[in-house]
Amino acid sequence: MLRTVSIICLIAISVGAYSQTDAEIFKKIYQTSLANGKSYDWLNHLSNQIGSRLSGSLGAERAVTYTKEELDKLGLDKVWLQPVMVPKWVRGAKEYAYIETVPGKTNTINICALGGSVPTPSLGLKAKVVEVSSFEALKALGKEKIAGNIVFFNRPMQPDLINTFEAYSGAVNQRSQGAFEASKYGAIGVIVRSLTLRMDDFPHTGNITYNDLPIDKRIPAAAISTNDAEVLSTMLRLDSNIKLYFKLNCKQLSDVQSYNVIGEITGSQFPNEYMVVGGHLDSWDLGDGSHDDGAGVVQSMEVLRLLKTLGIKPKRSIRVVLFMNEENGVRGGIKYADEAKQNNENHVFALESDSGGFTPRGFNFECNEANFNQVLSWQSLFKPYLIHFFEKGHTGTDIGPLKSSTPVLAGLVPDSQRYFDYHHASNDTFDAINKRELEIGAATMTALVYMFDKYGVK
């Protein structure tokens, strides 16, 4: 039955919380980004000339130099490097693993060390495998069943959620905490099903934490591809005595000097009010980090370039911050927030792009109701560009440390369907980037920055 209830209601609507000029500026921003954008060229260089950029690596160092040089060319008011000490973890020689059904009969599988893992013994490690889907299941098995074995965490990301980041959140503790949890019960190693919704052959890395475990209690942890996770699981159902061999050659070295790269257009009216837009310059080492987070880096640079190119003179100081070390330490984000506090800088707004260079759908916000309602009053400006999503939610890891002192945090929300196909894997490469999707993202970020600069935060 069609239950149409027509009600007469009194609604106070904010209309005209923007002007016709704003609509024209939006149009110019999108047109310029799409027809004469720079983000794709920058990303091409970052991905194909420099490549992966794990903290402390030569790639990271070259990315600092390159992006500073490119910012220098934009005619900003200031460009500088902010020193920050970062951890240096190296993968070493490529990992190797196989399943052994009977001695001598082996199936090679696709494996990679998880970031921060200790290595296996130099001859590798071979043991029986205990498959679990949760820490509760691990606990229920206890030391008796776990000690001396390899724990295999195989809980898939939930496929029926629309937001793939939600599915990731529901599975990521296996990767981040799995080694720590399994070590409690005497496991000698941990294997994790890769965090992707696709069935394929790519192992996906990502950071782990041992919390305060003493070095000698730390056990090696690695990811295997989703296809191999299915194979291993099936083989274990047929024969629980099969063994897994794996060898990791990774190493944690001493911290090294690195940098956040920062550029600023100084505000014409309120130079002491700072607005930040950024992404992270480091990446994992397997692909070239095009989506994570080369895209966010070049989009953030493009925001300032578009403002300059279009002759928009912001009232507030707009900074692009290319954060170092998001992936395994967030040292850059913490450093930036610490220095801002020491210098009594008044940060009013920060926007991060770190969810891939896919078609933008909108933004998440961490802010009060007044600012959120202000954004909602701008919705119709964004609608012609198919930007419909404005919600409260997680914004960004690098800008997180600014939260306590910054009234508005925002995170670009691109379409999330393909993100985990590439996340932390060797196929996160430039060919997976669509030029237009990247450029529309940059324009969308610029439009939001423009509005908050013009109308201020509440």
Catalytic annotation, residues: 326
Residue type, 176: S
Residue 10 binds to a copy of itself (criterion: CB under 8 A)? yes
Residue 389 binds to a copy of itself (criterion: CB under 8 A)? yes
* Closer residue to a copy of itself in complex, CB, 88/361: 361
Q: Is 123 helix (H, G, I), strand (E, B) or coil?
A: coil
Residue 16 binds to a copy of itself (criterion: CB under 8 A)? yes
Helical segments of 161-318, H only: 164-169, 173-183, 226-238, 295-309
Give me the least distance between CB of 417 and a copy of itself, in Å please. Answer: 5
> How far is Cα 359 from Cα 387, in angstroms, rounded to an integer?
9
Residue 18 binds to a copy of itself (criterion: CB under 8 A)? yes
Residue 191's H or E segment, with its range, is strand 189-193
Residue 34's H or E segment, with its range, is helix 20-36
Kindly give, in sequence order, each residue whose CB lies less than 8 Å from that of residue 85, ignoring residues fewer than 6 positions away: 255, 256, 257, 258, 331
Q: Quick one: which of 90, 361, 368, 393 contacts a copy of itself (CB under 8 A)?
A: 361
Q: How many residues bind a copy of itself (CB under 8 A)?
A: 49
Give me the least distance between CB of 26 and a copy of itself, in Å please. Answer: 11
Residue 437 binds to a copy of itself (criterion: CB under 8 A)? yes
Place of tokens 């896919």: 358
* Closer residue to a copy of itself in complex, CB, 6/404: 6
Residue 61 binds to a copy of itself (criterion: CB under 8 A)? no
* Closer residue to a copy of itself in complex, CB, 13/123: 13
Give me the least distance between CB of 112 and a copy of itself, in Å please. Answer: 23
> How far is Cα 321 from Cα 323, in angstroms, rounded to an integer?
6
Q: Would residue 414 be called left, alpha or beta, if left means φ above 0 and alpha means ψ between -120 and 50 degrees?
A: beta
Q: Quick one: which of 78, 143, 388, 392 contacts a copy of itself (CB under 8 A)?
A: 388
Give me the least distance between CB of 364 and a copy of itself, in Å please. Answer: 13
* Closer residue to a copy of itself in complex, CB, 249/417: 417
Place of tokens 């130079």: 271
The dihedrals phi and psi of 384, each to the nearest 5 degrees, come to: -60, -20
Residue 268 binds to a copy of itself (criterion: CB under 8 A)? no
Q: Which stretch binds a copy of itself (CB under 8 A): 132-140, 180-188, 330-338, 431-439?
A: 431-439
Task: Check: CB of residue 52 under 8 Å from CB of residue 59.
Answer: yes
Residue 93 binds to a copy of itself (criterion: CB under 8 A)? no
Give me the least distance between CB of 5 and a copy of itself, in Å please. Answer: 5
Residue 197 binds to a copy of itself (criterion: CB under 8 A)? yes
What is the pairing mode between strands 125-132 and 243-247? antiparallel
Give me the least distance between CB of 15 and a copy of itself, in Å please. Answer: 6
| Inter-CA distances, 252 with 87, 114, 204, 240, Å | 8, 12, 19, 34
* Closer residue to a copy of itself in complex, CB, 264/439: 439
Residue 21 binds to a copy of itself (criterion: CB under 8 A)? no
Kindly report each contact of residues 212-215 with a partner whose C-beta sits within 8 Å and lies 24 or more positions away, as own/partner: 213/180, 213/183, 215/118
Which stretches of the chain bind a copy of itself, using CB under 8 A?
2-19, 30-32, 34-35, 159-162, 164, 197-198, 359, 361, 377, 384-386, 388-389, 415, 417-418, 421, 434-437, 440, 455-456
